[in-house]
Structure 1
Amino acid sequence: MLEPGTRLFEEERPARTFWLVEGGAVRLDMHVPGGHAATVETLGPGELVGWSRLFPPYRWHLSGRAVGTVRAVEFDAGAVRAECERDPDFGRAITLACAQVIAGRLQASRLRLLDLYGPHRSANDDPAEG
């Protein structure tokens, strides 16, 4: 159980654990030079927090904080990586599951960028009329 406001990890620090959220939410944010931390995404039940632990140099790309009380299963990243090396089928399954998470988050980020910076046309606009 993680108390509200608990910092799970910090950007650029070693990624030694990861979590599967069972209840509550974890807010991912990143440092903005000269400003405050910008929220990138909020993850809830059933979501994986911490794919950074899978790829060298095993450092967090973002920071994470518990939003409210969070129930999560915590995994030791080194032990999971060792098991992936020992059992290639397990390693492949873990890698594919993480790749699906990464692909989904990349797509969500693209959509957020389009919302922020994309052309704002209605469905009835004719692109030829520009």
Structure 2
Amino acid sequence: MTAPPRLLDGLSQSHRDRLLALARDREFPAGTRLFDEGGTADRFWLLRSGEVALDLHVPGRRSPVVETVGPGQLLGWSWLFPPHRWHLGARALGPVTAREFPAAEVRALCRADPEFGHEVVLHCAAVIAERLQATRLRLVDLYAPDGGGPS
């Protein structure tokens, strides 16, 4: 797979500055649960250091990790689309530092500046496509007979 797109790299300088003005620095100790599948998606993060495992609730089974997100990557896209509920869960694998963004304020900025909103939505769509592909491959690997390899 190719390197995931980075949100700040895809924004013009003025849009980057406006977005970063909303950010707050956060630190999460190892093992911290950042969000759970189905919870309210009211924020998102750009990771600065550390890794976060994205997992999927599977009734009666341990939640499989479907992807790991690292430095420079977007953590969370469910905040952008109604009903603003997380589609996966997330747990810090080690200490994590991140920039945290308030979803409602970023959505308001997207509405007020359609060019900015378009850039953000395109970036999130690219992340969603990448995560769906990674999830599909991981689930095939986990649940297909013989590990999903050729028969």
> Which structure 1 segments of 5+ residues have no match?
122-130
Q: CA deviation at 1:66?
A: 0.7
**How many percent identity over aligned positions?**
57
Structure in which a larger fraction of residues adopt strand: 1
Q: For 2:54 and 2:139, locate their aligned partners in 1 and report how far apart those are by CA, in whole Å.
A: 17
Alignment equivalent of 1:80, drawn from 106, 113, 116: 106
SS at match of 1:72: strand
TM-score, normalised to structure 2, is 0.74
Partner residue in 1 for 2:150: 120
Q: For 1:120 and 1:84, locate their aligned partners in 2 and report how far apart those are by CA, in whole Å.
A: 45
Q: CA deviation at 1:104?
A: 1.5
Q: Deviations over 1:59-105 (max 9, x none)?
A: 01111111110011100000000000000000000000101111122
Q: For 1:91 and 1:84, locate their aligned partners in 2 and report how far apart those are by CA, in whole Å.
A: 4
Number of matched pairs: 121
CA RMSD of aligned residues (A): 1.6
Q: For 1:89 and 1:2, locate their aligned partners in 2 and report how far apart those are by CA, in whole Å.
A: 33
> In the alignment, does 2:36 pair up with 1:10?
yes
> In the alignment, does 2:130 pair up with 1:104?
yes
SS at match of 1:64: strand
Q: CA deviation at 1:107?
A: 2.5
TM-score, normalised to structure 1, is 0.85
Q: For 1:119 and 1:38, locate their aligned partners in 2 and report how far apart those are by CA, in whole Å.
A: 19
SS at match of 1:68: coil
Q: 1:3 to 1:38 in 2, by over 3 A?
A: same
